[in-house]
Chains A and B, each alone.
Chain A
Amino acid sequence: MKQWMGIGIFTGILAVGFIYLGSGQTAVINPELNNIKVSEAIKERGRQVAIEGDCVACHTGPNGAEFAGGLHFLSPFGDIYSTNITPDKTHGIGNYSREDFYRAVKFGYSINSGNLYPAMPYTSYRKLNDEDMNALWTYFQSVKPIEQANKDNDLIFPTNIRFTLGGWNQLFFDDSDFKKTVGKSDIWNQGKYFVEAAGHCGECHTPRNIGFAMKSNAALQGAIIEGWDAVDITAKQLKKRGWTHNELIRFFKEGESNLGSAFAGMYTAINHSLRHMKRENLSAISTYLLDEDQHSTMTITSQLTTEAANSPRFLTEDEKAQKGYQGYVSYCAGCHGLDGLGKPNAVVAINNNSVLTADSAYNAIAVILRGLPSKRQSLIQGTVAMNGFSSEISDLELTELVNFARVVWGGHSDSVIDVDEVKAIRKQLDESGYLKDSGPDKSHSGL
């Protein structure tokens, strides 16, 4: 009996030690970093890193002050609220040392609340280099402190015990520095650094394993998140859908392209982050994502696909006679036009739209069921809201419509989505609460 007790206690101590060592609170930084003198140039670089990292998107509540937190996230385990990261001493990071800041951003450990949930993408920010981290720290010292209390998370047991995240880190956290790929150009590696570190693209676009960690062997291969398909953005798939270097840069800069416009999480990422970045950085991202190493920022490539998308394509009589077109006219043509040409700065064109050219039909089905809020990218660019049709369109009508559109406008030789697939997606969206009628477009997504 005593022997078993001894083994139990020993195992318990080992487990606690294992979790403690994974908690991030033991991480140390290079002491020399504390000797860096603050300068306006470093602070400005920090502002850029904050933009690249899109900190403001998550750490700003609805109509709230920048970086004061309070944005709600629905996780599989309950409700999470982003925290105040202004230098306020009571509620924010005003009492943080430089080392505390590093531990929070790169290792997911906060002196205010203990281990951070990986909703905060420290799992990607871990790749940030010392120079950028130092700049980020300097910038956040200059942010206006906001005295706004943090909201408590509401999570199920045992995920509400923050300490256990140390164990999660031990099992799933890739605790390694950013590595350049040998044999690739500097601009390609610059793109890789952004995508893996500040840009944290994989947090949405990489599928997750059973422990909700990004699958390292399936990077950027697409994942369902918040009821949308964060599509596969590997080079092969991007090229297959017709993306080119210049088209991607335009998409990042304007949220618009000849292959469709950004929506949902990607619109947020572009609105707060990508469109504020320098063109040469966007060029680096595009070079890396398309795995094309011969671009300079000024290169104009031949763009057969986008040229084709630029010229209006009218449907033939044969296409209009196909099953599914009547459904298109019934539900879609009122806005998108009888030939899917859309209306400039109001309704997106459907021909060659990435939602239809993608291998997965998830977004095509989801967008018809859910609709989208209106967007405004600038004074002269935007799109009107699209209302969802979940209460009006039947599974069979939707199936025929999506199959028709994927063949006619998505470039697929055939599309054989079946009714059961549509049913399953509808059920999943409904159970997740994404099919509630949102009413008039009161949630205007302004600048």
Chain B
Amino acid sequence: MNTVTVELILNGKKIGPIDVAQGTMMIQFLHEYLNLTGTKFGCGAGICHACVILEKTKTGHVTHRTCIKGVGAFNGMNLMTIEGHANIDVKTEALVLHPVQQAFIDHFSFQCGWCTSGFVNEAIGYYESLKQQPVVQSELRAALEHHLGTHVCRCTGYVKYYQAMENLILSQPELIR
């Protein structure tokens, strides 16, 4: 059996080097090898973006679909999945969600939750990018449509996802020009 050697950083932890069957898709690797099942398998054809995870690069963030990309494509990357965004408060030991996650909950953005991991990763990538490059307020809606528009949701019709992001960003003046 042909294998590919994979070594990467996932949610801050080093993974590998590990030999994986050559045809393994990244989502299979997350589920079967690492037991990280928060990333959801949707269409399996790279269309719905439910399976998107986040890569931290030197210049910012990039998102990747994991259902149609082999694990070898992720070799050497620094990645974040849905399991890696919340933190434990050292004082209270309570779980603190990322502001984007909290906003989605506050706005009841999702129902069944299948698309949520993809939305969270895409939205966090965009949210973090605003810290370096704030958005012009009048262009915010178009920018959200541009960044989140590839994600398919079949429950809430996108509106509440977009509202959550809009309200979150507008509540932080440093993200707006």
A interface residues with partner B (beta carbon < 8 Å): 317, 320-321, 326-327, 329-335, 338, 346-347, 384-387, 391-392, 437, 439-441
Contacts and interface: CB of A to CB of B under 8 A. Distances in A.
A327 B70 CA distance: 9
B4 to A, nearest CB: 7
Contacts of B113: none
Contact of A331 (B4, B47, B69): B69
Interface in B126-177: 146, 149-152
A440 B152 contact: yes
* SS of B interface (majority): loop
Contacts of A317: 2
Given A329-B72, A392-B69, 7 more contacts: A321-B2, A329-B70, A330-B70, A330-B72, A331-B68, A333-B70, A386-B46
A334 B70 contact: yes
A335 B45 contact: yes
A326 B22 CA distance: 8
B177 to A, nearest CB: 23
B46 A329 contact: no
Contacts of B64: 392
B72 A384 contact: no
Contacts of B151: 440
Interface size class of B (residues with CB under 8 A): 20 to 34
B48 interface: yes
A331 B2 CA distance: 17
Contacts of A320: 2, 22
Given A330-B70, A392-B64, A387 B46 contact: yes
Q: Which of B49, B70, B146 has the most CB of A within 10 A?
A: B70
28 contacts: A327-B73, A329-B4, A329-B22, A329-B72, A330-B73, A331-B70, A331-B73, A333-B23, A334-B25, A334-B67, A334-B68, A334-B70, A335-B44, A335-B68, A338-B23, A347-B45, A384-B43, A384-B47, A385-B47, A387-B47, A387-B65, A387-B68, A391-B62, A392-B64, A437-B146, A439-B149, A440-B149, A440-B150
